[in-house]
Amino acid sequence: MVKENYQIIFDQIKRLRPENTPKLITVSKKQPQEKISEALDGGLRCFGENQIKEGIEKFQSLKEIYPDLDIHHIGPVQTGTIRKLFGLFAFTHGVGSENALVELIKQANSRKAQIKYFLQVNLSLEGTKSGFEKVNLLKVLKSISNYKSEFAEFHGLMTMGPSSGEPALTKKIFKELNQIRNEFCPSAKLSMGMSGDYQIAAEEGSDYIRVGSAIFGERILR
Ligand SMILES: *Cc1c(COP(=O)(O)O)cnc(C)c1O
């Protein structure tokens, strides 16, 4: 089932973007190990987790069996736990404040450990969502050379659609992130789209799409 669901979504995305098809990250947070095994048996290797600890518990030992595992951290980056990202996660999608960015770079440099990061942008301006507001993002982008690191590499911009899921507003937000990218950091990638809005994200030029429940079904772990 897991592989079939993945394939249906992947085919839809591919139809919308035959060239430059976005990468589909299978979000496995709060999914039991049986589901992960099923995904691995189906050949899936790219997973997203929002809790660092949960990701490590699930995938660290699997990495020996599946060396091509590609694990993305997708939730907000907490300064207190950043050090735990290194070793398993190749990407982190939720760097949402200057403090988090500074700490990520500091930890990467002191460990000489590679990580690629996305700056999370809060364009829906919902208080419950983390991320840079646009003006603060632009400040960071203008001075991004100050954040240069051999180990922590700026990879792109991430955003979440509005909680309402309203398609027109979702489209507007995704379009806005694409425009910000084009204007201020043209080589950056975009990470947007989840189960409810991945088609809109594909249409609006996302490079990474993060889908959980539409592939695995309901999340069951607490
Ligand atoms: C949980 C989560 C997803 C996936 O959500 P679904 O609606 O289950 O597809 C994507 N991105 C982030 C940041 C998440 O926390």
**Are 122 and 166 a contacting pair, CB within 8 Å?**
no
**CB of 9 closer than 6 A to ligand 1?**
no
Q: Which of 194, 197, 216 to mutate to test the pocket of ligand 1 (most atoms within 8 A of CB)?
A: 194
Pocket of ligand 1, candidates 73, 206, 210: which has the most ligand atoms within 8 Å of its Cβ, to mutate? 210
Select from 75, 110, 111 the least CA-distant residue to 92: 75
Going 161 to 164 to 168 to 169, the CA torsion angle's sign is negative
Residue 16 and residue 209: Cα distance in Å, rounded?
13
- Ligand 1 centre to CA of 212 (Å) is 6
Q: Which of 2, 1, 21, 19 minimizes the C-alpha distance to 10?
A: 21
Among protein residues, the one whose CA lies closest to atom 15 of ligand 1: 75
pLDDT in tens, the chain (222 residues): 999 999 999 999 999 999 999 999 999 999 999 999 999 999 999 999 999 999 999 999 999 999 999 999 998 999 999 999 999 999 999 999 999 999 999 999 999 999 999 999 999 888 777 899 999 999 999 999 999 999 999 999 999 999 999 999 999 999 999 999 999 999 999 999 999 999 999 999 999 999 999 999 988 877
Q: Which amino acid residue places its CA nearest to atom 11 of ligand 1?
A: 210
Q: What is the DSSP string of the chain?
A: -HHHHHHHHHHHHHHH-SSSPPEEEEE-TT--HHHHHHHHHTT--EEEESSHHHHHHHHTTHHHH-TT-EEEE-SPPPGGGGGGGTTTEEEEEEE-SHHHHHHHHHHHHHHT--EEEEEEB--S--TTS-SB-HHHHHHHHHTGGGG--SSEEEEEEE----TT--HHHHHHHHHHHHHHHHHH-TT-EEE---TTTHHHHHHTT-SEEEE-HHHH-S----
Task: Enumerate domains of the chain plus CATH numbers.
Answer: 24-216 (3.20.20.10)
Ligand 1 centre distance from Cα of residue 210 (Å): 6
| Closest ligand 1 atom to Cα of 196 | 7
Are residues 115 and 85 in contact, defined by beta-carbon separation less than 8 angstroms? yes
212 Cβ below 6 A of ligand 1: yes
Amino acid at 2: V
Atom of ligand 1 lying closest to residue 93 CA? 13
- Ligand 1 centroid, distance to 12 Cα (angstroms): 18
User: Which of 26, 46, 50, 124 has most ligand 1 atoms within 8 Å of its beta carbon, as the pocket-test mutant?
Assistant: 50
Q: For strand 70-73 and strand 89-95, is the pairing parallel, antiparallel, or unpaired? A: parallel
Mutate which of 25, 27, 209 for ligand 1 pocket (most atoms within 8 A of beta carbon):
27
Q: Which amino acid is at 197?
A: D
